[in-house]
Chain A
């Protein structure tokens, strides 16, 4: 073996602990999940056939997709407005804004979900206030349904939508906006023709991030859905923990991983993923 060969072997040895860690704790369990999905209760494609035949499974998948798409849309909309305000704020105000966006991230998702239940339930703050104000006569069904899930998920996701969009907006040269106005564009035209297109990479990154996160959401839908609206993650837990149907549960888990990979693959064609997740500045 020549000198450079020995040197590179040394480098590989240094990587070994990390590789072992990934293989043991990450790859092995996934392979096991994949194996179970093809072997339980009997070997073959049986579990995957259910995707095409079982209306229950299809309903769970469509509910999940619908909620995730709606969550992404609302989180992007709200997040864009916040990121835009932060971008244009004075440096002092900007720090407070960012703090306000980040604080919810440090509060347990469980606490936040129960907080929403308190606010949205039949005798909750929202319904009570509206009834006392005489706006409604009957409490609105605000929780233990898709609406409740949506509120909780959007609330959780907004910071994740804000941060990539904020990063992308901060890169926009503010002189371009002044230039556009100097060339005769109204404020609205400046936003539509200059700011919005230049912030699109951030919007796409935020959209992918939020959508992928939402697909596997468990605690928030479980608490705010009240067991009546099932999303994929809760359905998997149900299969494995309550119904002891490992085959179906792992099949769905595999599908979840596949869905995430496909989403990433599609968007990696559109945007630079490495940049999206923060690797390398420009």
Chain B
């Protein structure tokens, strides 16, 4: 592995009374792709800027391979960075933009030329070397920014919402390119985004932030399947929330007692364990719910009527009104739907006991 490891130790940043980042600690291993994910104002960009050296933490440390780099100014850190909106220098050609990090490091022209060519090859823009940034499309500018950030063999690559300015289709394309690039060069990437799909598809590790705090940190699958809090379940994908009283939780599972019925829950992996007899909250992903055929049964069955539905091409999205559990959203593949949905249609929803996960309410 050529990448470097990064640790944040109890990082805190305050602006007067306002706390932008509070006590965030996390570890990124060599060559990993970390995404800082959160809504706007969650502190994700502040953390990235503290890693880059633009923001001086009020408290805590940034460590690169175990060495404290907190006091270093940005230009001494040797981190490649792709800025929001790319920040390409408008008065320089593409080649000069890419050569900039080498020029300020005093490298000779010959060294520079070879490296710039290699970097532009890497992002398939060799033919555009002499153009000015404004003559390129958004996607091409994004790739120039990538080449410029990678050309000097940086310790880390930092990406500040690198894809947010692009349209949906181009974004998907560049996501794949970015992922392939990460695999090819084996560097440690740190990405900031508010786009949960981007985070899920790109990352080895995701740090979910809200109100300046780290809410959950882990692999994409772990976070999606076993969200720790309501916020994580809601922000990363969509979720139904079922309220009730926890009965007899043990390592294997529990029963959620709601006014109308009991819901069986089987635990897979470590989860937040509610107290016996105390209030509990379940997160249930819409795609884990099926519409049952007549006579078919499941570990949990709820009856209701379709209040609204949408055809999504590949599937249906239903909102089902139930007697005791309120509205439940379900997403099912079109080919699996036993009936063509219609408003007012009575349906039976079913899901397996291991589909729902108990989550905590978030601290206010």
Please report A residues at the B interface, Cβ cutoff 8 Å.
Answer: 173, 175-176, 178-186, 189, 193-194, 197-198
Contact = CB atoms under 8 A, between A and B. Distances in A.
B91 A197 contact: yes
Nearest to B80: A183
Contact of B100 (A178, A193, A198): A193
Contacts of A193: 100, 103-104
Contacts of A175: 83-85, 87
Nearest to A194: B89
B228 interface: no
B152 interface: yes
Nearest to B54: A178
A83 B87 CA distance: 23
Contacts of A194: 89
Contacts, number: 61
The bracket for how many chain B residues form the interface is 20 to 34
B81 interface: yes
A193 B53 CA distance: 21
Chain A interface SS verdict (over half)? helix
Contacts of A178: 54, 74, 83, 87
Interface in B66-86: 73-75, 78-81, 83-85
Given A189-B104, A193-B100, A197-B91, A181 B85 contact: no
Given A189-B104, A193-B100, A181 B87 contact: no
B54 A184 contact: no
Interface in B91-141: 91, 100-101, 103-105
A181 B85 CA distance: 16
Contact of B91 (A181, A182, A183, A198): A198
B75 A173 contact: no
B75 A186 contact: yes
Contact of B104 (A176, A183, A197, A198): A183
A169 to B, nearest CB: 14
B103 A182 contact: no
Contacts of B79: 182
Contacts of B53: 182
Contacts of A180: 89, 100, 104
B148 interface: yes
A184 B83 contact: no
